[in-house]
Chains A and B, each alone.
Chain A
Amino acid sequence: EVQLVETGGGLIQPGGSLRLSCAASGFTVSNYYMSWVRQAPGKGLEWVSVIYTGDRILYADSVKGRFTISRDNSKNMLSLQMNSLRAEDTAVYYCARWGGNHFFDYWGQGTLVTVSS
């Protein structure tokens, strides 16, 4: 059974850093494109970043230069390092697996990041 479990969320001050992790089971993360998607409170979904199987990486303009996505194949995990956090980064962050042509077939339960002083 495919499972994605995110951890690492919490309350952080503006300008601070936080690292999110996503533990995968039931499949091998190195064989799939993997993404982070976020959802601000009461708002819609926003794609954040993707890491392709060949390690090509893309970011949304809103996080480019501040967030770094990575994959640890030995631990079958995905991570998101978030630096220079802003109030507008407050959201539930989901880890998601790409199922094929630009869609997500499995999602984690999400982890809440709150950026506030």
Chain B
Amino acid sequence: QSALTQPASVSGSPGQSITISCTGTSSDVGGYNFVSWYQQHPGKAPKLIIYDVIDRPSGVSNRFSGSKSGITASLTISGLQAEDEADYYCSSYTTRNPLVFGSGTKVTVL
């Protein structure tokens, strides 16, 4: 099972909005509304920030939002802050395995 495709890096200035894409196939992202997103700071465990495409766990900033169109899901971070600098991974249910992760995106705050 190949990883979902994410851009290797995305950058933005404080206060700006950035969007990270996550492209799969009709067997995963395109076929089900079971896309989640994780934030991972260096040396730390991943943290769930979006689940079921658009839902945010309690305590996660509303600056994080998710969406999906066809086989591509997206994570938007609005009002970018220094603390948002981290790696971000998408994940989706897939018909072949319970789930598959994206390749990961490093977000840099300029």
Contact = CB atoms under 8 A, between A and B. Distances in A.
A46 interface: yes
Contacts of A99: 48, 51, 57
A44 B3 contact: yes
Given A44-B3, A44-B104, A47-B100, A105 B48 contact: yes
B72 interface: no
B47 to A, nearest CB: 7
Interface residues of A, number: 21
Given A101-B34, A101-B93, A45 B101 contact: yes
Nearest to B33: A101
B52 interface: yes
B52 A100 contact: yes
Interface stretch (A14-22, A67-75, A79-87, A106-114): A106-114
Nearest to A49: B98
Interface residues of B, number: 25
Contacts of A102: 34, 36, 91-93, 98-99
A100 B44 CA distance: 23
Interface string A27-39: 0000000010000
Contacts of A46: 101
Contacts of B3: 44
A82 B24 CA distance: 30
Contacts of B89: 44-45
Given A102-B34, A102-B99, A45 B46 contact: yes
The 10 closest A-B pairs by CB, nearest first: A103-B36, A107-B45, A102-B93, A103-B51, A44-B104, A45-B101, A102-B34, A101-B34, A102-B99, A50-B98
Interface of A: 35, 44-47, 50, 58, 60-61, 94, 99-105, 107-110
